[in-house]
Structure 1
Amino acid sequence: MLSRVAPWLASRRDDPDPAGISVRTLDGQDTAALTSLAQQDPVTNVFILAHLRATGTAAPTAGGAGVLGVFDNGVLSGACWAGANLVPVQLDPALAPLVAGAANSSGRRYASAFGPAEAVLALHAELAQLGHRAHEVRADQPLMVIAERPRVQPHPGLAQGNLADFDRILPACAAMFEEEVGYSPYLGGREFYSRRVEGLIRQGHSLVHLNEAHEVVFKAELGAVTADVTQVQGVWMNPRYRGQGLSSGYMSAVVERAQKIAPVTSLYVNGFNTKARSTYERVGFRQVGTFATVLF
């Protein structure tokens, strides 16, 4: 496809169907095609596969989030989730101008773009020209997986989060978010973020250890879940317990619980976070790709 798209990229002609390539928002009739596309790499595309598993459709959500599909002579060849965030799905970086243009025309303001590094960085370059200014670009985020038993003894204290402890878990989640992105998750309203945390608890995807004083010591979430892959997100250790060598045991416990749901456990981590990477490698994670995240 690149050979067919490259001449158009060079000339940027105002052609609604350059070289047979078109982009549109997917609908319910595209569900099977999107699923097949994403299944080409179920680890990288766990976000969209989890969405399809939960909703059963490629059609836009009630809130207006949808999937932009790129078609090559009528065949779906790439896609990009466009909701609060942009998440490319098997998207050739050469097609970023088409997708960025469609994303921009919606009038949405995106909080971030994340996914395979080449596609995300290509989208960022195009969006920057359209006025979407990033305040941080994390271009090197190793995508890691483990499909075997963890190498470290799991910490016995980790358990599923309980709604009775919601008022303790929510502040820990908010503290993790603020440490990770530099601003409060409540800026857009406390209710939306609270519902997200509550939903993870109800699904059994919130993993937490509370000490005898009911204080959160460690927590993580299974943020995206399919029958094949889970993606661990929101890993956080209470600052009072850091530096004590506890992280690998907790992460082993996370993997142990995740593998009861799906055989492969994945995560992505900032390349500069050498301590976290060492912990994950100690547990048995290995790198299989590179993600990038652009924070707008």
Structure 2
Amino acid sequence: MLTTRQGIRPLGPADLDAFLALVITDPVVNVFADYRARTTGLEPRWLGGEMWGRYAGGALVAACHVGANLVPICATDEDARAFGERALTRGRTVSTIVGPDDAVRSFWNTVAGSWGRPRDVRWGQPHLQLDGDPVVEGDPLVRRTNRADLAEVYPACVAMYTEEVGVSPEHGGGAELYRARVLQLMSRGWSFASFDESGRLVFKAEVACASPYAAQIQGVYVVPDMRGRGLATTGMAAVARIVRREIAPVVSLYVNDWNVPARRAYERVGFVESARFSTIMF
């Protein structure tokens, strides 16, 4: 088996079975990696980047997704540092580093001196999961969205992204690509929302990625003038129930540690903390 420095080499379609066997050791935390592998077959042209694998004794022991997002997968401190050393040989091409807290910290400590000052760093984000029914009733008005809802859904997605990330997804001419992403989620049945009597969107959430084992929620948003009324709790209960019934048996997400209202809403639904993530944005 041809490997490079530190026992790392790019993975390809021939490595798919070994990769899936690796991520299934923690299928909820690794749902993004699992989803990317199953939808691309680890074919670089579909990955839009590379998937690095680290080997020990001929076995795949850790991996790292290197695309727009860099995501360490099943990486120990040593693995993450090794991936960081490899990353230093090519310079920063990613916009975000995200994943389990310990691995992200080890990777970042390796590359920080060369990759420049990040725009934002969010350590210790609680990773939450729900593997049973929600413990509160869901909002019966929550439903899947479709193209006819785009005039309401798209601005809410832009507002949520801007509020969460600190920059609009339309910045730098990104509106067309972002709109295509919103429509893609709709077409998959992964976009959910509730609307008031006038047809105005008041709550939304999407499934970001899914595997046979788990689905990860993103983009949870309540319009500002409707906050504090429990819409996030009942909305997420409804979404979680649909997702568990029709997409995957476990629902997961991660949230900023400082976002106390959101954390309380998820706790009321029945989500429990299972790990800590961290995110570094450039």
Is residue 106 of structure 2 the alignment partner of residue 122 of structure 1? yes
Find the counterpart in structure 2 of residue 169 from structure 1: 153
Matched pairs, number: 277
Which residue in 2 is equivalent to 1:192? 177
Structure 1 Cα separation of the partners of residues 215 and 106 of structure 2: 26
Residues 221, 232 of structure 2: 8 Å contact kept: no
Residue 264 (1) aligns with residue 232 (2): no
Aligned 1:88-237 pairs, distance under 5 A: 88-188=72-172, 189-237=174-222
Q: TM-score with structure 2 length normalisation?
A: 0.93
Question: Structure 1 residues 187-196 or 86-95, which shifts more?
Answer: 187-196
Matched, 1:275 2:275: no
Q: What's the CA shift for 1:131?
A: 2.4
**Percentage of pairs with the same residue:** 38
Aligned to 1:286: 272
In 1, Cα distance between equivalents of 2:47 and 2:53: 18
Matched AA of 2:273: Q
1:254 aligns with 2:239: yes
Structure 1 alignment gaps of length 5 or more: 1-15
How far 1:109 moved relative to its partner? 2.4
Matched with 1:3 is none
Preserved CA contact (<8 Å) 1:59 1:67: no
- My pick for the range that moved more, 44-53 or 99-108, is 99-108
Contact 1:128 1:134 in 2 (8 A): no
Aligned counterparts of 1:59 and 1:173: Cα–Cα separation in 2: 30
The alpha carbon displacement at 1:219 in A equals 0.3
Indicate conservation of the 8 Å contact 1:221/1:233, yes or no.
Answer: yes
Report the equivalent of 1:39: 24
Name the structure 1 match of 2:13: 28
Q: One-letter code of the match for 1:164?
A: A
Q: List per-residue Cα deviations over 1:24-77 (Å, max 9, x = no partner).
A: 21111111111111010001100011112223x123134631211111143211
Aligned to 1:54: 39
8 Å CA contact retained: 2:127, 2:277: yes
Secondary structure (helix, strand or coil) at the match of 1:61 reads: helix
Per the normalisation by structure 1, the TM-score is 0.89
Q: Which amino acid aligns with 2:178?
A: Y
Over 3 Å counting, the alpha-carbon distance change for 1:172 and 1:99 in structure 2 is same
In structure 1, the partner of 2:51 is 67
Q: Deviations along 1:216-251, whole A, 9 cap, x unmatched?
A: 100000111112111111100011111122221111
Superposed displacement of residue 155, structure 1? 0.3
User: Aligned partners of 1:63, 1:167: CA distance in 2, in Å?
Assistant: 30
Give the aligned residue type for 2:272.
R
Cα-to-partner distance string for 1:105-147 (whole Å, 9 max, x where unaligned): 4455211111100001111122212223212211111111111
Aligned-residue offset at 1:207: 0.5
Contact 1:221 1:235 in 2 (8 A): yes
